């Protein structure tokens, strides 16, 4: 069994990750509903300076991302301690970001990677209106993306072309739900 499979069984923090318009918020919210778990959208944890930078079409730097990733991780850890599980949506594009999140959490974190081609994601992005993420930043998203390694990282890759229901069933099937505090 690969290391990623072993630790996904005990992950209380699940982060739906991928480039902009891959469906992180939609899948994360649906997974939260299915598991009766709190869902935290990473977009809500960006400081205003990050939002303004993205709104103007300027990609974020690593220095911009660290405080955001820390704030989201702290909130996810707190939520998982109350309910036994928490779901987050976060791009987590670089391995160093995913390692940072897992380190700050101090426990296994399962990253659900929404895997899609640039063409599919571009079509999705063209159909939606995001408060501050213009289509012009899509190339920088793919340039930053370090595809998670299923051998050395705790990741479950799912195609963005699967239905939301199928993705939720796939993820839920990988989790050990005995540890969840569903009715608290």
User: CA 22, CA 115: separation in Å to the nearest integer?
Assistant: 8
Q: What pLDDT shows up at residue 13?
A: 95
Single pTM value for the model: 0.85
Q: What pLDDT is stored for residue 128 in this prediction?
A: 66
DSSP reduced 3-state for 107 = coil
Closest CA to 181 of 85, 78, 96: 85
Say if CB 156 and CB 148 are below 8 A apart: no
In this predicted structure, what is the pLDDT of residue 131?
55
Q: Give, for 85, the enclosing helix (H) or strand (E).
A: none
- Dist CA 136 CA 55 (whole Å): 10
Residue 177's pLDDT is what? 55
DSSP element (H, E) containing 103: helix 95-105
**CATH number assigned to the domain with residue range 28-172, chosen from the 4 options 3.40.309.10, 3.30.1950.10, 3.40.250.10, 3.40.50.300:** 3.40.50.300
Q: Give me the average pLDDT of each 10-residue run along the chain (184 residues).
A: 46 93 94 95 90 81 91 96 94 95 94 95 75 64 92 95 96 70 40
Locate 99 and state its tokens.
């390692």
């Amino acid at each position: 069994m690969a290391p990623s499979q072993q630790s996904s069984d005990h992950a209380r923090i699940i982060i739906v990750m991928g480039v902009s318009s891959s469906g992180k918020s939609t899948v994360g919210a649906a997974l939260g509903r299915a598991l009766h778990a709190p869902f935290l959208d990473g977009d809500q944890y960006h400081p205003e300076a990050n939002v303004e930078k993205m709104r103007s079409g300027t990609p974020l730097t690593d220095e911009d991302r660290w405080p955001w990733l820390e704030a989201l991780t702290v909130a996810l850890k707190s939520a998982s301690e109350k309910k036994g599980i928490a779901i987050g949506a976060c791009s987590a594009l670089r391995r160093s970001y995913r390692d940072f999140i897992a380190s700050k959490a101090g426990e296994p974190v399962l990253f659900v990677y929404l895997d899609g081609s640039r063409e599919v994601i571009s079509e999705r992005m063209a159909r939606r209106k995001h408060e501050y993420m213009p289509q012009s930043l899509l190339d920088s998203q793919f340039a930053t993306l370090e595809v998670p390694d299923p051998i050395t990282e705790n990741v479950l890759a799912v195609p963005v072309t699967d239905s939301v229901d199928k993705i939720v069933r796939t993820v839920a099937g990988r989790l050990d739900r005995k540890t969840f505090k569903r009715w608290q």
